[in-house]
Structure 1
Amino acid sequence: MTRLANKFALITGGTSGIGLATAKRFIEEGAKVAITGTSEEKLAAAKAELGDVLTIRADAGDVAGQAAIAEAIRTEFGRLDTLFVNAGVADFRPLEAWDEAGFDRSFAVNVKGPLFLVQALLPLFANPASIVLNGSINARLGKPNSIVYAATKAALISLARTLSGELIARGIRANVVSPGPVSTPIYGKLGLSDSDLAGMKDYLIGAIPAGRFGEPNEIAEAIVHLASDESRYTVGSELIIDGGMSNI
């Protein structure tokens, strides 16, 4: 398939999980792809796996750094047809354990950085162009310990609508995917013991009618659709991909 032929795409957080799976699918569909990441080692590993891809080291929460990403895209691509905002942090704590630094970091990476990245990329977006934001079903579930993470993802869901309202006249549409539990490295970054992690996964699987975690490629397929001209009438929408977790 070549649904993204002759398109230039940027994927933030493209070194693992959903971001890496999406980069693979974009390349298979004919796109020229750039990915960002915080680790040179992981960027190099992703490039070795993906092949012809532009790698950009960047901190997703650093506002000034977003202009540097845009400049790299301008220099290498000249324009941008698709942006997938995937980089994020998942910090789960009970309410009493939160501090200002942790709160600020979550909102910087998950909300502030994406907003200013879109701003920095505005002169480069083609007409038409597609922005896809990676939300989360946590924004709709009210699960314990997700109070700040869920709030950041709710902000992204809102951002998809407001960006569309502001930018659609320029041919730029924004949408959001909200995955449920997906088999990615994020769970290994929560600081849980092996037994607690296994217990959490068993609990989550019990809450998913499909009876399993999603796979990164299943989310990537939806992002390809939203990035392509197939979805040109889909504007400011949220696509929930959670195995029925929020609906049954």
Structure 2
Amino acid sequence: MNTFNNKLAIVTGGNSGIGYATAKELIAEGAKVIITGRRKEAVEKAAGELGAIPFVADQANLDDIDALKKEVENQYGKVDILFINAGITGTLGSIENMNPENFDNVMNINFRGAYFTLSKFIPLLNDGASVVFLSSNVATTYRPNSSIYQASKAGLNSIAKTAAVELAPRKIRVNIVSPGPTKTEIMTKAGLDEKTLEGLDAWLTDQIPLKKMGTAEDVAKAVVYLSNNNVASFMTGTEILIDGGMIL
């Protein structure tokens, strides 16, 4: 398949998990893909495996976003697909016991960084381009001990829908994918040990009507679908939930 021949895609946080799976799908469909990440070794390793172009950048750092924009503009000119995927869960805990450092870490990557990634790349987006934000089904749930992560994703959804209206005159579509529990490294990165993760997986699976966890590939296919003007040209401001029916 060559759906995205001669198309340039950027995937933030593309060295693992959903970003990696999405970059793989886009490349399989013919796109040239730039992946970003904070860790040089991990980004370069992933890019080598995928056949992608690596760029070391921290989405929380506006200077890094500027550097990425400058490099893309100088080397490639315009962008056709922008998947704003990078994000963290941060440390879980109650509102009463939360610390400002954790708040800033989560919001700077998930919310502020995502906002300014879009803001700075709008001039480089081709008319008719696709932007997809990775959100989460927690944006519309209010579970204890996850207030900051949930708020960061709820804010992201608001940005995406406003952007969809602002960019519609240029036929740029802005959509959202919101996974539920998905088998990726994100919870390990949150500091949970293997035994705790197994217990969490079992508990989460029990909350899901389909009784299974999602995969990174499930989400990647939805991103690729939304990025395809042949099949999703009339979709903008849309949120696709990929959570096995968890919020029903």
TM bucket normalised to smaller: over 0.9
The answer to whether the Cα contact below 8 Å between 1:160 and 1:176 also exists between their aligned partners in 2 is yes
Q: Which residue of 2 aligns with 1:15?
A: 15
Q: Which residue of 2 aligns with 1:62?
A: 61
CA distance in 2, matches of 1:26, 1:169: 26
The answer to whether the Cα contact below 8 Å between 2:7 and 2:79 also exists between their aligned partners in 1 is yes
Greater shift in the superposed pair: 174-183 or 56-65: 56-65
The correspondence of residues 30-179 of structure 1 with structure 2, limited to 5 A, is 30-51=30-51, 53-91=52-90, 92-179=92-179
Task: Give the paired residue count.
Answer: 246
Deviations for 1:93-132, whole angstroms, at most 9, x for unmatched residues? 2222311121111111001111111121122110111100
CA distance in 2, matches of 1:64, 1:171: 29
Deviations for 1:199-218, whole angstroms, at most 9, x for unmatched residues? 11111010011111111111
The answer to whether the Cα contact below 8 Å between 1:63 and 1:112 also exists between their aligned partners in 2 is no
CA distance in 1, matches of 2:3, 2:215: 21
| TM norm structure 1 | 0.96
Moved over 3 A (4+): none
Give identity over the alignment, percent. 39
Aligned residue type for 1:57: V
CA distance in 2, matches of 1:194, 1:46: 24
Gaps of 5+ in 1: none
Greater shift in the superposed pair: 175-184 or 66-75: 66-75
CA distance in 2, matches of 1:232, 1:132: 13
Gaps of 5+ in 2: none
| TM norm structure 2 | 0.96
RMSD between aligned residues? 1.1
Deviations for 1:57-112, whole angstroms, at most 9, x for unmatched residues? 01111122211111111122210001000001112222223111211111110011
Greater shift in the superposed pair: 105-114 or 186-195: 186-195
Shift of 1:196: 2.0
Greater shift in the superposed pair: 98-107 or 79-88: 98-107
CA distance in 2, matches of 1:17, 1:238: 20
